[in-house]
Amino acid sequence: MTSETHALELDAADPLAPFREEFHIPLGAEGKPVIYLSGNSLGLMPRTARAAVDEVMEDWERLAVEGHFKGPRPWYTFHDQFREPMARVVGAQPDEVVVMNTLTANLHFLLASFWRPVPGRTRILIEDGAFPSDTYAAESHVAVRGFDPGHTVVRLAPRPGEHLLRTEAVEGFLATEGDSVALVLLPGVQYYSGQLLDMQRITAAAHRAGALAGFDLAHAAGNVPLALHDWDVDFAAWCTYKYLNAGPGAIGAAFVHERHGNDLGRPRMAGWWGNDPGTRFQMHLNRHFVPRSGAEGWAVSNPPVVAMAPLLASLEQFDRVTMPELRKKSIALTGFLESQIREAAGEGITILTPADPAERGCQLSLLVHERSRQVFDQLTAAGIIADYRPPDVIRMAPTPMYNSFHEMWRVGRVLGEVLG
């Protein structure tokens, strides 16, 4: 089942295979397309992204300031185009989603609203191996507001000798210490290991403890099916430059559950784009901020239209395929790569990512026991673009929209040669 013939058969039967032709795939040293396994860091460029940006530039050239209200996609309502397709990606209602800012900026805005410490209940629960920016955001946020990060931010680590944070450990901590926790802030998919956390169970455990639950979905949005509304998640933030393929440093997004979005009295950091669009340009008459309902009540600035344009191209693709369809191929593709790696590497590599497909996205994190950097460099020289995390982990993300089964077979062959 790991043969080249089987890989080609899987590609021939793959209904998503035509999507591959819709992306620009970089060429390697020999002028052949590389095997791109770094979509967990930056997704490939959709071929229609350039036209989306060009349209905005042409409107700017042709209309100047009148482009806010004229042209095929007026800039004043430009952000409205993202509401429904993005809601479908994350399993939300359209008014629960807003495209704005960047991920960590959105985390700070959301922390200002949802971390509401009271005597005896002040702590934020994060994971010990959180993506550094999340740790920086949590610790700096509590410090700015006059609290001691060392006491207020609790870092929950895996059990000794393990690489993954068990859901039972989160539930257990909240059952015993939850009366001191104001907020749980965890990833949807852990960036280092590729572990898919059980967000529904964690949210329920947080709520039982009297805390709120928020998630960083940087490695989950566009990767795994999400149901933020139905799971009762309080808030979430994510970027769009990984599995959503919107370009380097692309616009971020946020989710706010409707029960909070309709609470216009909830404190927040305010800006003119979060108020009633009907009165937004009555600037000198609006002396006091009154938020609009929904997640867009957290917006603060007019949208960066040029930067948002590539996301139009990406979400148009996501509107032609469902997340369950992507997930089906993702499970098969990641499993096929796993089989290739185990056959090629033997005991030379330990896969940190959970073996259960239900507990991972389209990423495998390989702990290389010897010569890890040399192995990575040799893979790169062979045209396999993965991601290296010192001191000894190589991350590979077989992305269902543009990776093929035959590519995974080739990775196994090259890896076997490199490891000898």
Q: Residue 253 to residues 164, 297, 304: CA-CA distances in angstroms?
A: 27, 13, 13
Residue 355 CA, distance from chain mean position: 21
**Dihedral in degrees, nearest 10, Cα atoms 283, 288, 292, 296:** 70
The boundaries of every CATH 3.90.1150.10 domain in the chain are 4-33+322-419
- CATH for 4-33+322-419, options being 3.90.1150.10, 3.10.580.10, 3.40.50.1820, 2.60.120.10: 3.90.1150.10
Per CATH, the architecture of 54-318 is what?
Answer: 3-Layer(aba) Sandwich (3.40)
> Alpha-carbon distance 211 to 122, whole Å?
10
Residues of the chain with CATH 3.40.640.10: 54-318
d(CA 23, CA 230): 33
Per-residue pLDDT of the chain (420 residues; tens, 9 = 90+): 789 999 999 999 999 999 999 999 999 988 999 999 999 999 999 999 999 999 999 999 999 999 999 999 999 999 999 999 999 999 999 999 999 999 999 999 999 999 999 999 999 999 999 999 999 999 999 999 999 999 999 999 999 999 999 999 999 999 999 999 999 999 999 999 999 999 999 999 999 999 999 999 999 999 999 999 999 999 999 999 999 999 999 999 999 999 999 999 999 999 989 998 877 877 777 788 889 999 999 999 999 999 999 999 999 999 999 999 999 999 999 999 999 999 999 889 999 999 999 999 999 999 999 999 999 999 999 999 999 999 999 999 999 999 999 999 999 999 999 998
What's the rounded Cα separation, in Å, for the pair 352 and 128? 16
- Rama region for 146: left / alpha / beta (φ>0; ψ in -120 to 50; rest): left
Q: What is the 3-state secondary structure (H, E, C) of the chain?
A: CCCHHHHHHHHHCCCCHHHHHHEECCECCCCCECEECECCCCCCEECCHHHHHHHHHHHHHHHHHHHHCCCCCCHHHCCHHHHHHHHHHHCCCHHHEEECCCHHHHHHHHHHHHCCCECCECEEEEECCCCHHHHHHHHHHHHHCCCCHHHHEEEECCCCCCCCCCHHHHHHHHHHHHHHEEEEEEECECCCCCEECCHHHHHHHHHHCCCEEEEECCCCCCCCCCCCCCCCCCEEEECCCCCCCCCCCCCCEEEECHHHHCCCCCCCCCCHHHECCCCCCCHHHCCCCCECCCHHHHCCCCCCHHHHHHHHHHHHHHCCCCHHHHHHHHHHHHHHHHHHHHHHHHHHEEECCCCCHHHECCCEEEEECCCHHHHHHHHHHCCEECEEECCCEEEEECCCCCCCHHHHHHHHHHHHHHHC
Show Cβ contacts of residue 209 under 8 Å, excluding neighbours closer than 6 positions. Answer: 174, 175, 178, 179, 181
Q: Distance between CA atoms of 273 and 99, rounded to whole angstroms? A: 12
Q: Are 217 and 240 in contact (CB under 8 A)?
A: no
Sheet containing 387-389: give its strands across.
349-351, 364-368, 393-396, 387-389
CB 134 within 8 A of CB 126: yes
